[in-house]
Amino acid sequence: MEPTAISSPLSTILRNGELSMICRPHPPASVVAAMAAHPLDLEVQLNGCVALAYATQGTDPSAADRRQAMLDAGGMLCVMAAMDAFPEDEGVANNGCAALAYATQGDFPAAEACRQVMLDAGGVECVVAAMQAFPEDDGVQDNGHLVLDTTFSETGDVLGVARMVTSMDTHSENEILQLTGCRHEAGTQTDPLPDGPFTQAVMRCLKA
């Protein structure tokens, strides 16, 4: 579906918070521009995350294009900036994690590039911080684990295993990353050896 034209400034739509207007296929670049223009406006940041999550979800053929458009506009960094700016807002944490989760889904180049941004720009730490801040929020926890699982596992290659092991060892006291590693090990067969590095990392976690 082609992005719909909007008759009023998108920043106004985001600030008003009407979901029927926010949850439309707005061009990701327009959403990012509105968020960048109002970095300290909570409503714009919150609903911008909602709009980007809506824009990038799905597995249809145009999903890759929407993720690429978000990436090209700096949307990944914009969502992380919103989460950093409003660490105590549950809605920003939930919808920010959702936007990052949708953007990193899939095995096409745009999703891979989004995962790389997650790793290079502190996205893992950003998501973990949100999950730590709202341990009882199912949306934050589910979307957070989804983005971490996807970012580390990628398409189940050895590189993803190495990244997960490194993070588990580097953040040995972080229960969320340890749990993500254990969940990933239990649900996939990414470790190339029965007693490979991933399995060993999980065992170290269980013994801690």
Opening angle at CA 127, ends 153 and 181, nearest 5: 35
Q: 2 lies in a domain?
A: no
- What pLDDT band is residue 62 in, cutting at 50, 70 and 90? confident
Flag whether pLDDT at 38 surpasses 70.
Answer: yes
Q: 116 lies in a domain?
A: yes
Q: 69 lies in a domain?
A: yes
What residue has token string 């609903």? 47
Shared domain check, 141 and 111: yes
Shared domain check, 134 and 95: yes
Highest mean pLDDT among 16-20, 90-94, 125-129, 167-171: 90-94
Q: 5 lies in a domain?
A: no
Shared domain check, 132 and 98: yes
Shared domain check, 201 and 102: no
Query: Of 154, 179, 199, which closes a domain?
Result: 154
Flag whether pLDDT at 133 surpasses 80.
Answer: yes
Q: Identify the pLDDT of residue 69.
A: 92
Q: Identify the pLDDT of residue 96.
A: 96
Six-digit token pair at 22? Answer: 């926010």
Shared domain check, 163 and 206: yes
Task: Give the integer Cα–Cα distance in Å for 148 and 151.
Answer: 5
Shared domain check, 195 and 115: no
Shared domain check, 110 and 190: no
More reliable by pLDDT, 194 or 124:
124
Task: Give the integer Cα–Cα distance in Å for 130 and 47.
Answer: 17
Shared domain check, 135 and 46: yes
The DSSP code sequence of 136-162 is T-HHHHHHHHHHHHHHHHTTT-HHHHH
Shared domain check, 77 and 121: yes
Query: Of 154, 169, 199, which closes a domain?
Result: 154
Query: For the residues 99-126, what does the mean pLDDT come to?
Result: 88
Flag whether pLDDT at 125 surpasses 80.
Answer: yes
Report the CATH number that the domain containing residue 103 is assigned in CATH. 1.25.40
Q: 46 lies in a domain?
A: yes
Q: 84 lies in a domain?
A: yes
The total domain count for the chain is 2
Query: Of 121, 139, 154, which closes a domain?
Result: 154
Shared domain check, 205 and 109: no
Shared domain check, 111 and 35: yes
Question: Which domain covers residue 99, as residue numbers?
Answer: 10-154
Q: 101 lies in a domain?
A: yes
- What pLDDT band is residue 155 in, cutting at 50, 70 and 90? very low
Shared domain check, 206 and 145: no
- What pLDDT band is residue 181 in, cutting at 50, 70 and 90? low
Provide the percentage of residues in the chain whose pLDDT is more than 90: 26
